[in-house]
Amino acid sequence: MKALRWLSNSFPGLLLCLVAGAGAGMVMAPLGTLAWLFGQLYLSVVNMASVPLLVVATFFGLRQVLTLPRPGLRTGTLLGVGVALLALCAVAGTLAGVLMAPGAGLTHSAGGELGQLIMKQVADGGEVRMDLAGRGADDSAAGSSGVPAAELEDIVPDNFYRALAQGHTLGILTGTILFGLAFAALSREQTSMLSNVFEGIYRTFESIIAHANLLLPVLAFGLAAHLTMHSDSATVQAMAGVLCSFTVLCLLLSVAAALAIARCARLPLVQVMTELKGPMMVGLASGSATAPIPHAIEVMSTRLGFPRGLVELTVPFGSVFLRAGSALYFGLVAVFVANLYGHPIGAGELVWIAGAATVAACLSAGQNGVGTVAYAGVVMSALQLPVEAAGVLLLAVDPICDGPRNALSLICTCAVVALVSVGLPSERPAPQPVQMEQRGGVVLRLVFTRVQMMLLGACGLAAAALIVLMGIGVGAK
């Protein structure tokens, strides 16, 4: 248990698990498969606890934000900053695709490998069918680009409990916001009992996720083994350009977001990155957008001092809607596919790619994993690129991109909290001053009464007489 606790909280430990898992995937496939199954069990437990925790955290956050000064302006600022960060990441991905030019200088063997992968997947006359959102291939709600449109009932559900059971995150947030607004309008006396119940639920699911995260090293081991066993090394090498570009961009933008958080919190960058290490590692290794929510709330409010109500509202909301990593991903892969097919990109098309990547990131709200790949078609269809063929390539490497994408989205959400919290008092506990003990500052006073003085004198005389008698006896011998 202590070893799992240390590994789950240590970046070198998780890195060691990833390396060991990759080795096990090459030489010990059954062990890697077993670790992968335990990792899926971990994700099931975390997702089971994260959805109700997301509901309760959003409820508490909404109620506390409404008590802040100028809540309407602050909420509008929250949305504006979030959209601005999405657009900034989309622009960064587009410009990095132009500067780094992934897919433009592929060797003949790498291009042949990617072509064989596409032709291998095309089984029905050049059409690749992808059902990434759980709907049928003949769904009437699907758009012409192959991207499933969000149904109205997913956003405004007619049954909140069904939305909870089916895991429709958009509908869950809609119901939570409506309930929270109505609940906040009631007096504290009317809602005190229910608030205590929600507080108990909140702490219970926090404890469940904290204990489940002890299996994070097992998940990292199993994930690395699974990717090693099921990834084609030739395909990964052929797409190494886009993978390396995406990883470097995620790292640079994460450092920039950490700098913004450190500036707003008035703390050193090293301390901020140390505190954010836990939730970032959970998001990176688990590939889940909801698993790091409890860690991020605790770090941003208790350790970095941002208002807890604002944190509890923004972090769950941002985990669903603020898909900064997806915006970066869509912009970069659109340029990659254009380079791959020799499509020249002008200045106007660059602006269009950045805007479409921002819109696609908003449309992908509530989607995780390979479900995000479908929304890349929103960007590529505007350039008249082969969406289905490009989707095959992206599906081949998307599990590798999923962790960095979620980690970047998480730290950008934390940056939104920091930027919107400017002007609010910090909730970080002030360090207690150490009081130095003053030497010689305390005077000991002895006060005797007259009777006590007489007894003290008598005792002294008796002791003196005893000493004299003992001296006489020793001399007589």
Mean pLDDT value across the chain = 76
* 285 confidence band (pLDDT: 50, 70, 90): confident
Q: Per residue in 211-233, is it b (16+ CB within 10 Å) or e — as a string?
A: ebbbbbbbbbbbbbbbbbeeeee
Q: Which amino acid is at 273?
A: M
Averaged over 414-441, what is the pLDDT? 68
* 150 confidence band (pLDDT: 50, 70, 90): very low
Return the pLDDT at 159. 74
pLDDT tens digits along 461-471: 766 666 666 66
Q: Measured between alpha carbons, how far is 360 from 90 in angstroms, rounded to an integer?
A: 10
Question: Do residues 323 and 362 touch, judged by C-beta distance below 8 A?
Answer: yes
434: CB partners within 8 A, 6+ apart: none
* End-to-end CA, the chain: 77
pLDDT tens digits along 168-214: 777 777 777 787 778 777 777 777 787 788 888 888 887 887 777 77
Q: Which residue has the higher pLDDT, 140 or 56?
A: 56
- Of the CA atoms within 13 Å of residue 83, those in its CB half-sphere come to 9
Weakest mean pLDDT among 46-50, 233-237, 269-273: 233-237
Is the pLDDT confidence value at 448 over 70?
A: no
Is the pLDDT confidence value at 454 over 60?
A: yes
Averaged over 98-124, what is the pLDDT? 69
Q: Measured between alpha carbons, how far is 87 from 103 in angstroms, rounded to an integer?
A: 24
The separation between CA 392 and the C-alpha centre of its own chain, rounded to angstroms, equals: 28
Return the pLDDT at 346. 84
Return the pLDDT at 302. 85
Return the pLDDT at 229. 82
pTM: 0.76
Structure tokens that stand for 304 in this block: 């970095």
- The DSSP line for 19-53 is HHHHHHHHH-HHHHHHHHHHHHHHHHHHHHHHHHH
Q: Which residues pair with 142 in a beta bridge?
A: 148
Q: Measured between alpha carbons, how far is 441 from 376 in angstroms, rounded to an integer?
A: 74
375: CB partners within 8 A, 6+ apart: 147, 326, 330, 360, 361, 363, 364, 367
What percent of the chain lies above the pLDDT cut of 90?
9
Structure tokens that stand for 13 in this block: 């430990």
Q: Measured between alpha carbons, how far is 145 from 150 in angstroms, rounded to an integer?
A: 14
**Can you tell me which residue has the tokens 């606890």?**
49
pLDDT tens digits along 319-341: 878 889 889 999 998 888 888 87
* 361 confidence band (pLDDT: 50, 70, 90): confident
Structure tokens that stand for 145 in this block: 């680009």
83: CB partners within 8 A, 6+ apart: 358
Q: Measured between alpha carbons, how far is 316 from 53 in angstroms, rounded to an integer?
A: 9
Structure tokens that stand for 156 in this block: 């405004």
Return the pLDDT at 389. 66
* DSSP label at residue 105: S
CATH class of 2-420: mainly alpha
Q: Which amino acid is at 207?
A: S
Averaged over 43-56, what is the pLDDT? 78
**Can you tell me which residue has the tokens 């688990």?**
286
Question: Do residues 306 and 266 touch, judged by C-beta distance below 8 A?
Answer: no
Return the pLDDT at 118. 66
Return the pLDDT at 132. 39
Q: Which residue has the higher pLDDT, 349 or 432?
A: 349
Return the pLDDT at 89. 92
Q: Measured between alpha carbons, how far is 381 from 356 in angstroms, rounded to an integer?
A: 10
Q: Which amino acid is at 311?
A: V
Return the pLDDT at 13. 77
Q: Measured between alpha carbons, how far is 382 from 398 in angstroms, rounded to an integer?
A: 22
What percent of the chain lies above the pLDDT cut of 70?
74
Averaged over 238-264, what is the pLDDT? 89
Q: Measured between alpha carbons, how far is 408 from 75 in angstroms, rounded to an integer?
A: 22
